[in-house]
């Protein structure tokens, strides 16, 4: 007894010496995690009652309080959490609540958020099936279910990555591998120096992240062939060029402004007949596949060779979660393999052989939990509801004098008012008002506002309140124009 006491006080002394603070007891750790969970729940409960935009004063206070030097000694853990809650939370954008319509932003489904917390406690390294057999199992199931939900081929390979940008990267690395291999070139071994040229084709309305990815892959931003698009930003399938040599065609399922889909049923057969690889950027649009009322939009896309999508947008899982699916699993494997001595796939999949990452977090858990919590019906209902809400929003805005610039086929609404100046003022006034948040964009040469309805948390009442707030902002813009003339 006495001996045990002496040992444990020695232990405390040693720990104090090593860390500058006392080792945490089980009950202290439990208290810290419980207190954090309480604070987190309170944050979400009160989110609906504050302005959606980040409060500039709170951001300034946060920055001022962060202007300290690296502390010499460790701080108390409960003080660290208190600091986050006191200064961090109020400076956030309320994108987890239902009236944030900027970019394409999903919320985090409660089950997925909670699963993400628990998996962080597990603190597993998901790079291989040895480093974490459990994560490998969740990831296998998540990928299988994602392919099932999106109507993509079951044998296809896949990778869970940080977002659609890295999903585009992963897919296009597999494409680069395959089209050059077919031309007798091993790009992973020899790089692009002296390689046969690859023709990369995109639509004029391709997402900016695809250009970034082409730059990262040595395929070049500027040497792409750009196909003209229609008024919805969709590639025109007439007067298509003749293709020859290694070719990669990038299609889009869901234009970030209009929600428009390239005509895959025309373009995929055209490109594949010439031996080209067809890649689909479907960051949010691919999810149309789960809704009976919207799946006609993805007709023909499942015949492509690779697909990039996001889970942190419309599947409503926490950041960072993107998905790359590649029909030719071997091409993905060879493009991402850790070792030059290519090993045939083993009985269990090691993520490091299929993703740009090595050490990585438990993305499969977040995605598994979201799909488990929604089920096919819930997922379909979520996508359908957001699309219906986008339509309602467009109708309300049109009644108030907005010009709706797109066919509202999905969850995106892009619109403008009398002129660029008025539109820009409305955007500013909406953001100041704080009821909802939408951002500006440029669409077909004019200033426009954009709404993306992508969150499980958005209720029909949120749509009504937000439409009214935009109309109020328009009134204010008209008054300020009248005052200045």
* Of positions 207, 294, 349, 360, contacts ligand PLP by CB under 6 A: 207
- Shortest reach from residue 310's CB to ligand PLP, in Å: 5
CB atoms within 10 A of CB 241: 11
Contact between 281 and ligand PLP by CB under 6 A: the answer reads yes
Q: Which stretch binds ligand PLP (CB under 6 A): 188-196, 239-247, 277-285, 335-343?
A: 277-285
Q: Is the peptide bond before 320 cis (omega within 30 degrees of 0)?
A: yes
By C-alpha distance, which of 462, 458, 397 is closest to 435? 462
- Rounded alpha-carbon distances, angstroms, from residue 36 to 29, 46, 117, 317, 369: 11, 16, 11, 20, 21
- Shortest reach from residue 262's CB to ligand PLP, in Å: 11
Per the CB < 8 A criterion, the answer to whether 255 and 441 are in contact is no
- Shortest reach from residue 202's CB to ligand PLP, in Å: 12
Site for ligand PLP in 346-405 (CB under 6 A): none
Site for ligand PLP in 131-170 (CB under 6 A): 163-165
Binding pattern for the stretch 96-125 against ligand PLP, x by CB under 6 A and - elsewhere: --------x---------------------
Site for ligand PLP in 246-265 (CB under 6 A): 254, 256
Beta strands in 285-438 (DSSP E): 306-310, 322-326, 403-404, 412-416
Choice between 146 and 471, CB closer to ligand PLP: 146
Contact between 283 and ligand PLP by CB under 6 A: the answer reads yes
Calpha distance 108→186 (Å, rounded): 41
- Shortest reach from residue 350's CB to ligand PLP, in Å: 24
Partners of residue 325 on adjacent β-strands: 158, 307
Choice between 173 and 256, CB closer to ligand PLP: 256
- Shortest reach from residue 165's CB to ligand PLP, in Å: 3
Per the structure block, which two tokens stand in for 192? 């692009």
Sign of CA dihedral 352, 356, 358, 363: negative
By C-alpha distance, which of 331, 272, 274, 330 is closest to 302? 272
Calpha distance 16→33 (Å, rounded): 22
Calpha distance 177→333 (Å, rounded): 10
Query: Applying CB under 6 A, what is the total number of residues that bind ligand PLP?
Result: 13
- Shortest reach from residue 104's CB to ligand PLP, in Å: 5
Residues in the chain: 485
Q: Which stretch binds ligand PLP (CB under 6 A): 42-50, 81-89, 178-186, 279-287?
A: 279-287
**In the complex, which residue's CB is closest to ligand PLP?**
163
Contact between 202 and ligand PLP by CB under 6 A: the answer reads no
Contact between 322 and ligand PLP by CB under 6 A: the answer reads yes
- Shortest reach from residue 35's CB to ligand PLP, in Å: 32
Contact between 440 and ligand PLP by CB under 6 A: the answer reads no
Which residues are CB-contacts of 190 (< 8 A; sequence separation ≥ 6)? none
- Rounded alpha-carbon distances, angstroms, from residue 138 to 118, 259, 362: 14, 31, 9
* Of positions 101, 138, 169, 284, contacts ligand PLP by CB under 6 A: 284
Binding region for ligand PLP (CB under 6 A) = 104, 163-165, 207, 209, 254, 256, 281, 283-284, 310, 322
């Amino acid at each position: 007894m006495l001996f045990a006491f002496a040992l444990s006080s020695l232990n405390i002394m040693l720990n104090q010496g090593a860390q500058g603070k006392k080792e945490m007891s089980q009950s202290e750790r439990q208290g810290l995690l419980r207190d954090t969970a309480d604070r987190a729940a309170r944050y979400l409960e009160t989110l609906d009652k504050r302005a959606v935009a980040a409060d500039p004063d709170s951001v300034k206070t946060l920055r001022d309080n962060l202007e300290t030097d690296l502390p010499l000694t460790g701080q108390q853990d409960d003080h660290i959490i208190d600091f986050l809650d006191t200064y961090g939370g109020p400076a956030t954008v309320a994108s987890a609540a239902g009236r944030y319509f900027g970019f394409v932003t999903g919320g985090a489904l409660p089950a997925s958020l909670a699963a993400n917390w628990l998996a962080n406690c597990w603190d597993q390294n998901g790079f291989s099936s040895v480093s974490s057999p459990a994560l490998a199992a969740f990831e296998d199931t998540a990928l299988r279910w994602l392919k099932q939900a999106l109507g993509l081929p079951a044998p296809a390979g896949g990778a869970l990555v940080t977002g659609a940008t890295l999903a585009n990267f992963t897919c296009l690395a597999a494409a680069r591998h395959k089209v050059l291999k077919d031309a007798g070139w091993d790009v992973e071994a020899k790089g692009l120096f002296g390689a046969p040229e690859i023709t990369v084709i995109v639509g004029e309305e391709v997402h900016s992240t695809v250009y970034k990815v082409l730059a990262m892959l040595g395929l070049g931003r500027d040497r792409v062939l750009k196909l003209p698009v229609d008024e919805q930003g969709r590639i025109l399938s007439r007067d298509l060029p003749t293709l020859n040599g290694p070719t990669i065609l990038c299609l889009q399922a869901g234009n970030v402004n209009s929600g428009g889909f390239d005509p895959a049923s025309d373009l995929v057969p055209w490109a594949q007949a010439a031996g080209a690889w067809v890649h689909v950027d479907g960051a949010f649009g691919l999810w149309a596949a789960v809704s009976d009322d919207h799946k006609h939009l993805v007709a023909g896309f499942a015949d492509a060779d690779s697909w990039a999508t996001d889970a942190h947008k419309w599947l409503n899982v926490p950041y960072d979660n993107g998905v790359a699916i590649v029909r030719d699993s071997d091409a993905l494997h060879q493009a991402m393999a850790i070792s030059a001595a290519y090993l045939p796939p083993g009985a269990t999949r090691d993520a490091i052989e299929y993703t740009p990452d090595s050490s990585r977090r438990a993305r499969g858990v977040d995605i598994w939990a979201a799909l488990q919590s929604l089920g096919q019906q819930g997922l379909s209902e979520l996508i359908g509801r957001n699309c219906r809400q986008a339509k309602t929003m467009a109708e309300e805005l049109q009644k108030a004098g907005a010009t709706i610039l797109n066919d509202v086929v999905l969850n995106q609404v892009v619109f403008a008012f009398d002129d660029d100046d008025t539109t820009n003022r409305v955007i500013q006034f909406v953001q100041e008002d704080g009821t909802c948040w939408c951002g500006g964009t440029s669409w077909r040469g004019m200033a426009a506002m954009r709404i993306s309805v992508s969150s499980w948390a958005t209720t029909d009442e949120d749509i009504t309140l937000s439409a009214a707030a935009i109309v109020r902002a328009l009134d204010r813009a008209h008054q300020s124009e009248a005052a200045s003339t």
